[in-house]
Structure 1
Amino acid sequence: MLKNPVRVTLGGLLLFVLPATGTPLAQPPSGRVTGTVSGPGGNPLQGVLLTMTTESGALFVEVTGFMGEFTFRDIPAGLCQFVAVLPGYEDHSIEKIRVMAGEEARFEVSLQIARISESVVIEGVGRDSVANEPEDIFTLTPEQLDALPLPSDRFQESFPLVPGVVRDPEGRLSFNGARPSQSTLLVNGANVTDPVTGEFAVELPLKAIKTVEVNNLPYSAEYGRVTGAVAKIETRGGTDEWEWDYGNLWPSFNFRGGTIQGIRSFVPQIQISGPIKKGKAWFSQGLAYRFVRSRVYDVAAGEDERVLESYDSFTQLDFRFAEKHHLTTTFSYFPLEVDNLGLNALTAANATPDFNSKGWNLAVSQRSFFSRTFVETIVAVKTFDVAVGPKGDAPSRLTPEGLRGNYFNELDRDSLRFEVASSCTHAPPDLFGGHIVKIGGNVSYTSFTGTDMGRPVEILGSGGGVIQRVEYLGDPTVFGKDVQVSAYVQDRWRLTDRVGFDIGLRYDYDRLVSEHQLAPRLSTAFAVDRKGRTVIKAGWGIFYDRVLLYADRFDRFQRRVERNYGADGLPEGSPLVFAPRVADEGLELPRSTTWNIELSQVLAKDFQLRVNYRERRGSKEMIVDRVENGASGAMLLSSRGKSLSRELDITLRVKREKNELFLSYARARTTGDLNDFAALYQDLRTPLFLANESSLFRHDVPHRALFWGIWHVKGDITVSPGVEWRSGFPYSVLSEGYLPLGERNRGGRFPNFLSVDLRVMKGLTVKGRKIRVGFQIFNLASHYNPRDVVSNLASPRFGEFLNSVDMGFSFRFSLGS
């Protein structure tokens, strides 16, 4: 854990600033290769496998993006061989491409329809995508991540740039209308979610990332334990040339009352990579330090800051034992400390907990390549430890103005995941078209131990008297374990040059619920015209989610005791005791049925329009019902939950050489049972335990528009605007005793949200060093975007919106090879 913020802050300054002022590593003579890949009619082809092989035998691999674009970074100067391969098309090879140091080579590639080649070996490639694949995949490259205005250079901040991804009122990510715990995050193919809560639980230096990918429609049968979306991160490995990059070396200062009051944020990063033995072994090391003070408005000065401090380390070692056998080992370590977690205009600083987490991931991946077969095995271990603690021993007081006095829960939890996954991808001889068949399986063991102890909560009326007192009784010790087994088969079948199918079947077993399930998946793409400018895509699939580990021993959790008080301050009747209990019918694997239909249209060479409708129906979701029966009650855990999300999005993307624009509009609706098990037992909790209802989700956003772009102008200047407009989130109206008045999340909505952000960077070369300087501005329009609302009817400030963020400004400074 990070126990001394001052010491760590100074350590971060010394670690990142002093090396930047010393003698730099020798600048490698490297260049860049960019371009696009299209089909016979000029339609862009996504998912084309590309390799660049240097004279020394070093191999670089890329995959084309949404508009058929690709970028090879830091290619050693000299002659290279270029190969492009896509099932159903002729392989395209360029024997000699000359890469010049410090320059960019750009060319266009056109692939012709053909049978699957049996002779080309693609080394180091594990992707098996096909053009025009039905899956809704969105990819961000390192150049985009570096250019776009991300507030604190965290990869999670890039996800809301994708249609269908929003941050809920608590700042958690919702994909495709699903709850935050229903999506999964993979780093180099390994699951890095929290083994207990299912939420994303990893931090990586931004400069260690090669690509960020969001798949809102993960129809491929290889994806399991998910009913939302799949987010994937691929990391950067080393090459035969030394490379180094220092990022964001300039701190942002905290201006108040016209004076500087310390540092507001400092998020330096460093990335170093190079050969251990040229042509045989390479390493890559990324480090990031993060210190961020987030101000909460409409709160008394001195108690209005949340402070976050973290240190992220990522190491990757790549070994080439033989021409066709590669091994990759990665290790990441990411301690985090947050003071005043959950601080807002309604929760006082003394009523917020302090949060500490510490985790590490270790993964070993072995890959073997043959002329028609690719085999991969991954062994991964993850630990993630969490501690959430109140600031004292006093009861927590919930008043009409908000939470005061103290936080009400103490959590200390250690968790573990061990998994082994293996897959084999094979291209058999053609049979009614070309096929790529993938079979695989996964075995995962998860466990946790710790304490989860509730503390007293007093609900106070407008006059200051106690209306209700809540206490927790019983042993706070918690533990659980689970074993999960999966297997799948997937066939990517290109029937003709205009019709393709993805057909898959997945098997899942979960020991915790002793349940076996089969999940069929089917998706298709059809090119209306021979040039492939108009493509219709559709898909349907059944998905089964993970069972949260907290369910393993839920009946041993602490009991909740509620005692009501009258106006005279005396207890009324007997206390109501809610015992944790699992429904008599037991638990089942959460399930969703998802389908979509999409029209993709190339309007012109650089313009592509996409119209997509998707629907997701969740069932057997785990919820906790409030059951009352006289003086006894139950917190009843069952698999009776349901949810429904629908979304129509229209996206226009323009890609012209280095410049790109992205514009989208989404119309969505998300409803379901509100007493979600994962939400009630997340790390930061609510003191209320209300009756379950089916209503709007807190992250329901009927209308949302996104715009972002990257423009390169003369003088090596990059201008990157970002604009988001959306409907406000819904909220509930509550009585003096914090009971809902009317349907939950139907009391009204926050005002419409508008954020206009901008990042401008200028490239320079000084004494052989590449330097980038610039600035970024957030909420450029100074739009009023409140984050809190007084929703208790007994408050004199009822209906008042609070805590909007002011316009923010910061400088940027980076050094690179």
Structure 2
Amino acid sequence: MNLPGQRFIRITDGVSALLALSFLCSESFAVAAHTGFEIGRCIENRLGRIAGERSSVQPSQRDGSRRLRVTVTDENGIPVLAAKLSLVEAGRGRIVRATDEAGQGEFTGLEAKEYQLRIEKPGFYVTELKIASDTESVQVTLYHQQEFTETVNVYESPAGIQAERTEKSAVLTSREILSLPYPSTHDVRNALPFFPEILQDAVGRVHVNGSDAYQVQSNLDGFNIMHPVTGLLEMHVSTDAIRSIELQTSRYSVQYGQGSSGVLELATGMGDDRYRFSATNFIPGVQTNKGLHVNNWTPRWTISGPIRRGRAWFYEAGDGEYVQNVVDELPVGADRARAWRWSGLTKSQINLNERNILTATFLVNRFRSKHDGLSLLTPLEATVDRRNSAYLLALKGQTYRSNGLFAEFGFGISWYRDDEAPQGDSPYRLSPEGASGNFFRQSADRARRAQVIANLTLPTIDWAGRHEFKTGVELNSIAYERTVMRRPIIVVRADGTLARTSAFAGGGLLSKDNFARGAFLQDRWSITRRLTAELGVRLDRDSIIHQLTFSPRIAFAYALGENGKTKLSFGVGDFRDATNLALVTRPLEGERTDVFYRRDGSVRTVVSSFSVGEPILKAPRFLNWSAGIERELPASFYLTVEFIARRGRDQLVYVQRDLAQSRVAFALTNDRRDRFAGLQVVLRRTFKNGYPLFASYSYMRARSNAVFDFDIDNPVFSQQASGPLPWEVPHRFLLWGVAPLRKSFDLAYSADWHTGFPYSFINQEQQVVGAPNAHRLPDYFSLNAHVEWRFDLLKYRLALRVGMNNITGRRNPTVINSNIDSPHFMEFSGTQHRVLTSRIRFLGRK
């Protein structure tokens, strides 16, 4: 018996054969990225006859055999993935499905009766419609939430249970990002801790489920925006430009291969057939500290609309920041530092026809701080002149057919430039009272990432259930160049006697390139109406480690009952990280010589160097497994309980190789083993008119056998040791939401408590005293509350907000002097204060 699509199944027998589909009409993958629509049509022609066999089979109209196919697109014609479809028959229960990559969901085994169909997804307005008894397919447009809309009979989609999705996923919508109170709302990265899995460290880096900051894959509209060298999220996008932020932390697709702890997807806006404009914080803030002056101004704006209605649209979003930092304790004329930053996002979308879409994106970031780092302990002369810039240029093509075939091709290139320069060439001197002289390092970094993506989702195949096959390839070409020069450092004690000198040799110009390629094959298998399995495998290789990695993953989701009110999930798989160039290039930074002058007159000299044995390195890996339960409770509350465990092997780390008493060699090895276990309990509800309530408790244990990150600029002269990772937080409670007060007034609130970060004691000779990370900063607690009033002025809609961050005035220090030989031992810095904030937003015409 020949099943529909059987010939295509034979093509998928081999992974390599299926991955080759994307190249059927192109001589090279680079060409493929620039001729995506021609290739898409070619693939359609080659598969058309097979898909035609499948689509020509008409469903029987007898009771119990009817099929209904629903296709969901947004207002710009782009398929909506993971939209929740609920089909209800009067007086009976509901059947729940989710849309696939092509925006399609299918109901089978229906009776020839009328049904009520409800389509919803967080960040969109709910759509409901009646389905006639003879309807076999329906096309639905799902509209994104807008900050201000003329339509009154719309309401936001609640965050319900997606019974067919296996991944652990959470979403922050644009309304939540713009409404919830948090410090520095102009930087969307500061909103990420509203996910209970995410914590920010003292310098703002993002840690997901106890991982290092480079172990989360960060994408902007499908393109990788991780820094090519450090792997950090440093690209800035205006908060007003973000439509949604999705975080996947377990059981996620093999499509993602450069983050072992999670995937962060930032989706930005696009214009529609109406011209829109908004502006935020367009009035600068002033202060009278040491005279009247502008101390902070963070304007943001967006403008969007049609280029050609129903066919092409544009979107512009920009923001700026001007900050003047005044240090009271410093003398007039040397007491202030100014910094400015701006970013701009430009997007356009053209629908070549109803099934072929082209989107272009350009993002630019610029930053300048002439006296970066000014503080009581770092006077003007010891600051650095810092200049940063980043750019992203991306082009993506998408094509899909009514039978479920969906293909996307994209090319993106990003550039990063980071420069720091001291204020002069005077000797750099450190003492307990602070720094003097000019900073010891001058550097200029250039990094570039060119990436190509191609993904193909095939028409669903009915065989022992329903199969949704997806395959794709990804190429990343990275180039890195750095020029660095270091001058000596002089360290003195409180009595002025010499304690240590540091000198540097080598450095200069260094460079390193990497070419990484990956491919994946995935099958989302709907075994029954209530049981879904996702099976996938991923292959990766780069030009540094030269090892072909094989990463299988499997996940299950099971709905207890047809109504989808309870879901069980489980998954296990092999997860990888992109090779970290910041680690690999440390030997190129040169050597460091430290001379310690002891009080008894003796002298100790230590020469530090770094080395990498690239040919013998192995690719790091994590074995992740997780299990979760989601339950819809009475009164539309949703409870989620999730457990996740991560076990690292062959991770890269520098360890000491003592060649002699006066020389320490740090060698890059695969000796690191991280262990993470976490439990999370979440309770959430979306009230009428989209007001959210979210509460969670998280427990984590993040340990490693190698907790030190040896660095030529900040050395620790101790052997690698095991202990808690620096971002381990055993306990955390999180609460946030928005509630109506009275007509046109809303209250937004957030509260966050967690255990303090761990740290180690060190002595004057930079040696660890006692067990690593055996001590903790005080517990962190922050309570924020803002009230917003929306009102009309002439023909326009505005929103005025006043609030307070850190209402309790808790200090929440982020830095501690842990040097046991320092006269300021155990003194805190980096503390917070109670802050009164205000904001005014222009939302557009009434």
Superposition TM-score, scaled by structure 1 size: 0.83
Is the 8 Å Cα contact of residues 303 and 316 (structure 2) preserved in structure 1?
yes
Aligned residue number for residue 155 of structure 1: 188
Is the 8 Å Cα contact of residues 50 and 82 (structure 1) preserved in structure 2?
no
CA deviation vs aligned residue, 1:434-487 (integer Å, no higher than 9, x gap): 222110001111001121333322333343322332211014211010111100
Matches within 5 A, 1:683-694: 686=714, 688=716, 690-694=718-722
Aligned residue number for residue 787 of structure 1: 814
Aligned to 1:202, what secondary structure does the other structure show?
Answer: coil
Q: Is 1:740 matched with 2:773?
A: no
Q: Is 1:597 matched with 2:640?
A: no
Aligned residue number for residue 16 of structure 1: none
Aligned residue number for residue 139 of structure 1: 171
Aligned to 1:804, what secondary structure does the other structure show?
Answer: coil
Question: CA, structure 1 residues 587+411, in 2 after alignment: closer, same or farther (shift >3 Å)?
Answer: farther
Deviation at residue 715 of structure 1 after TM alignment: 2.0
Aligned residue number for residue 637 of structure 2: 607
5+ long unaligned stretches in structure 2? 1-82, 105-117
Deviation at residue 530 of structure 1 after TM alignment: 3.7
Cα distance in 1 for residues equivalent to 2:292 and 2:453: 51
Which AA in structure 1 matches 2:793?
V
Deviation at residue 809 of structure 1 after TM alignment: 1.1
Aligned residue number for residue 508 of structure 1: 540
Is the 8 Å Cα contact of residues 163 and 666 (structure 1) preserved in structure 2?
yes
Counting matched residue pairs gives: 733
Stretch of structure 1 that moved more, 429-438 or 505-514: 429-438
Aligned residue number for residue 666 of structure 1: 698
CA deviation vs aligned residue, 1:34-93 (integer Å, no higher than 9, x gap): x986576579977789999xxxxxxxxxx988xx545349xxxxxx99799xxxx99776
Question: CA, structure 1 residues 44+496, in 2 after alignment: closer, same or farther (shift >3 Å)?
Answer: closer
Q: Is 1:486 matched with 2:518?
A: yes
Is the 8 Å Cα contact of residues 493 and 501 (structure 1) preserved in structure 2?
yes
Q: 2:260 aligns with which of 227, 237, 240?
A: 227
Q: Is 1:320 matched with 2:351?
A: yes
Which AA in structure 2 matches 1:360?
Y
Q: Is 1:330 matched with 2:383?
A: no
Question: CA, structure 1 residues 539+343, in 2 after alignment: closer, same or farther (shift >3 Å)?
Answer: farther
Cα distance in 1 for residues equivalent to 2:787 and 2:199: 25
Which AA in structure 2 matches 1:262?
H
Question: CA, structure 1 residues 345+82, in 2 after alignment: closer, same or farther (shift >3 Å)?
Answer: farther
Deviation at residue 616 of structure 1 after TM alignment: 1.4
Aligned to 1:177, what secondary structure does the other structure show?
Answer: coil
Stretch of structure 1 that moved more, 37-46 or 755-764: 37-46
Q: 1:580 aligns with which of 610, 629, 632?
A: 610
Matches within 5 A, 1:401-800: 405-550=437-582, 554-567=586-599, 572=603, 575-583=605-613, 586-630=616-660, 631-657=662-688, 658-674=690-706, 680=711, 686=714, 688=716, 690-746=718-774, 748-800=775-827
Cα distance in 2 for residues equivalent to 1:592 and 1:64: 37
Cα distance in 2 for residues equivalent to 1:83 and 1:517: 49
Q: Is 1:809 matched with 2:836?
A: yes
Matches within 5 A, 1:310-389: 310-338=341-369, 341=372, 350-371=381-402, 372-389=404-421
Deviation at residue 804 of structure 1 after TM alignment: 2.2
Is the 8 Å Cα contact of residues 371 and 384 (structure 2) preserved in structure 1?
yes
Is the 8 Å Cα contact of residues 565 and 632 (structure 2) preserved in structure 1?
yes
Aligned residue number for residue 122 of structure 1: none
Deviation at residue 522 of structure 1 after TM alignment: 1.1
Deviation at residue 627 of structure 1 after TM alignment: 2.7
Is the 8 Å Cα contact of residues 329 and 364 (structure 1) preserved in structure 2?
yes
Aligned residue number for residue 264 of structure 1: 295
Question: CA, structure 1 residues 232+36, in 2 after alignment: closer, same or farther (shift >3 Å)?
Answer: closer
Aligned residue number for residue 245 of structure 1: 278
Q: Is 1:309 matched with 2:362?
A: no
Percent identity of the aligned residues? 24
Aligned residue number for residue 71 of structure 1: 124
CA deviation vs aligned residue, 1:592-649 (integer Å, no higher than 9, x gap): 1111111211112420011111111222222122332224331212222221222111
Aligned to 2:477, what secondary structure does the other structure show?
Answer: strand
CA deviation vs aligned residue, 1:484-514 (integer Å, no higher than 9, x gap): 1100011112211221111110000111111
Which AA in structure 1 matches 2:286?
F
Question: CA, structure 1 residues 95+732, in 2 after alignment: closer, same or farther (shift >3 Å)?
Answer: closer
Is the 8 Å Cα contact of residues 82 and 94 (structure 1) preserved in structure 2?
no
Cα distance in 1 for residues equivalent to 2:741 and 2:485: 57
Question: CA, structure 1 residues 217+43, in 2 after alignment: closer, same or farther (shift >3 Å)?
Answer: farther
Aligned to 1:335, what secondary structure does the other structure show?
Answer: strand
Cα distance in 2 for residues equivalent to 1:452 and 1:95: 54
Deviation at residue 247 of structure 1 after TM alignment: 1.4
User: Which structure: larger Rg?
Assistant: 2
Cα distance in 2 for residues equivalent to 1:254 and 1:246: 23
Cα distance in 1 for residues equivalent to 2:592 and 2:452: 39
Is the 8 Å Cα contact of residues 707 and 724 (structure 2) preserved in structure 1?
no
Which AA in structure 2 matches 1:366?
G
CA deviation vs aligned residue, 1:145-202 (integer Å, no higher than 9, x gap): 1111133321111110001100112221111111111112101110011111111121
Which AA in structure 2 matches 1:771?
L
Cα distance in 2 for residues equivalent to 1:547 and 1:297: 44
Question: CA, structure 1 residues 655+519, in 2 after alignment: closer, same or farther (shift >3 Å)?
Answer: same
Question: CA, structure 1 residues 509+632, in 2 after alignment: closer, same or farther (shift >3 Å)?
Answer: same
Cα distance in 1 for residues equivalent to 2:759 and 2:335: 23
Question: CA, structure 1 residues 611+521, in 2 after alignment: closer, same or farther (shift >3 Å)?
Answer: same
Q: 1:164 aligns with which of 194, 197, 204?
A: 197
Question: CA, structure 1 residues 299+586, in 2 after alignment: closer, same or farther (shift >3 Å)?
Answer: farther
Deviation at residue 802 of structure 1 after TM alignment: 3.5
Matches within 5 A, 1:108-123: none
Aligned-CA RMSD value = 3.4
Cα distance in 2 for residues equivalent to 1:334 and 1:83: 48
Which AA in structure 2 matches 1:581?
S
Is the 8 Å Cα contact of residues 43 and 602 (structure 1) preserved in structure 2?
no
Is the 8 Å Cα contact of residues 416 and 446 (structure 1) preserved in structure 2?
yes
Is the 8 Å Cα contact of residues 645 and 677 (structure 2) preserved in structure 1?
yes
Is the 8 Å Cα contact of residues 252 and 810 (structure 1) preserved in structure 2?
no
CA deviation vs aligned residue, 1:675-705 (integer Å, no higher than 9, x gap): 666x848xxx535554322222221111111
Question: CA, structure 1 residues 209+496, in 2 after alignment: closer, same or farther (shift >3 Å)?
Answer: same
CA deviation vs aligned residue, 1:744-783 (integer Å, no higher than 9, x gap): 211x211111111122211111221111112131111112
Question: CA, structure 1 residues 783+294, in 2 after alignment: closer, same or farther (shift >3 Å)?
Answer: farther
Cα distance in 2 for residues equivalent to 1:201 and 1:83: 47
Question: CA, structure 1 residues 241+788, in 2 after alignment: closer, same or farther (shift >3 Å)?
Answer: same
Question: CA, structure 1 residues 806+91, in 2 after alignment: closer, same or farther (shift >3 Å)?
Answer: farther
Cα distance in 1 for residues equivalent to 2:820 and 2:459: 65
Is the 8 Å Cα contact of residues 345 and 802 (structure 1) preserved in structure 2?
no
5+ long unaligned stretches in structure 1? 1-34, 53-62, 74-79, 111-128
Cα distance in 2 for residues equivalent to 1:169 and 1:782: 18
Question: CA, structure 1 residues 731+350, in 2 after alignment: closer, same or farther (shift >3 Å)?
Answer: farther
Cα distance in 2 for residues equivalent to 1:691 and 1:93: 63
Question: CA, structure 1 residues 667+444, in 2 after alignment: closer, same or farther (shift >3 Å)?
Answer: same
Is the 8 Å Cα contact of residues 310 and 335 (structure 1) preserved in structure 2?
yes
Cα distance in 1 for residues equivalent to 2:814 and 2:599: 33
Question: CA, structure 1 residues 249+101, in 2 after alignment: closer, same or farther (shift >3 Å)?
Answer: closer
Which AA in structure 2 matches 1:266?
W
CA deviation vs aligned residue, 1:369-424 (integer Å, no higher than 9, x gap): 10211100010000001112333334444445665544333221111111111001
Deviation at residue 553 of structure 1 after TM alignment: 5.1
